[in-house]
Amino acid sequence: MFGDNNSVKHSKEQEIDSTYIVNNHFKGKEKSHICYGPKTMIFATLVIPLIFILNIRMDFEMGFKLVLIEILNIAILIANRIKVTKQGITYHRQFFSWGEIQTIGVAVTKRNTPNKFFNKMIYISKNKYEKPVRLLSQKLYSKIEKYAYQETIDFLNGKPDYIITASFNRRLIHHIMAYWGNDIQNLNDTPGWISYVKLYNFFYKKKCSAVKKEE
């Protein structure tokens, strides 16, 4: 009986461990990531050049518009980048050292679950939060109630200087974990994250096995 309980406990521990990054390849590295870049914009940026490469017929006006869209998309993706280094995190003129940061997490809805699809957001804050954090935009602030079971950060008077926000980016989170560790609020409840980690860990183990065979 006790053996069965121990097996179940061990199995659960293994399952929990599998949701974390194993041997993070971002350790010791510096890199910038897209901070705000909807997947539709990224997809369009990749597809537009193919239209010209494949020589798809179009009139001059349409071709000119596509070129302008491509230039605008690239400019936005270059400008809106967040940098992760050994010293801390930088976004535009904001720099938070790892020692200053108190909480990193995934923003939640009023139901305390992470947002889905394009609304997924992360926050990096100099403040300590024990409860899940909900980000209230300036446009929606007057229509949204505050709840006692969660912290709320509003942007009614602009973005506070104690917080950096970004679109949820798996590689950005992956990189942050190299220096911050696994203490990222609501991360394992975020759709797609656990699948990403398991896939990464699976291929990393295969890569390690291949290296050992070569040695």
Map out the domains of the chain as residue ranges: 23-214
CA atoms within a 13 Å half-sphere pointing along the CA-CB vector of 81? 12
Per the confidence metrics, is the pTM higher than 0.95?
no
**pLDDT in 10s for each residue of the chain, 215 residues:** 334 444 444 444 444 455 678 889 999 999 999 887 666 777 777 888 877 777 777 777 887 888 888 888 788 777 789 999 999 999 988 899 999 999 999 999 888 888 887 788 999 999 999 889 988 775 554 556 677 788 888 777 778 889 999 989 899 999 999 999 888 999 988 888 988 998 898 887 766 655 445 55
Strand 94-97 relative to strand 151-154, pairing:
unpaired
Instruction: Please answer whether residues 180 and 84 qualify as being in contact, where contact means their C-beta atoms are separated by less than 8 angstroms.
Output: no
CA 210 vs CA 25, 197, 205, 206, 215: distances in Å: 16, 20, 9, 6, 9
Instruction: Please answer whether residues 108 and 186 qualify as being in contact, where contact means their C-beta atoms are separated by less than 8 angstroms.
Output: yes
The tokens describing 66, both together, are 């596509």
Instruction: Please answer whether residues 84 and 179 qualify as being in contact, where contact means their C-beta atoms are separated by less than 8 angstroms.
Output: yes
pLDDT at 110: 83
The tokens describing 62, both together, are 């349409």
Q: Any idea what the Cα angle at residue 123 is, between residues 121 and 128, rounded to 5°?
A: 145
User: Which residue in 126, 96, 109 sits closest to 186, CA to CA?
Assistant: 109
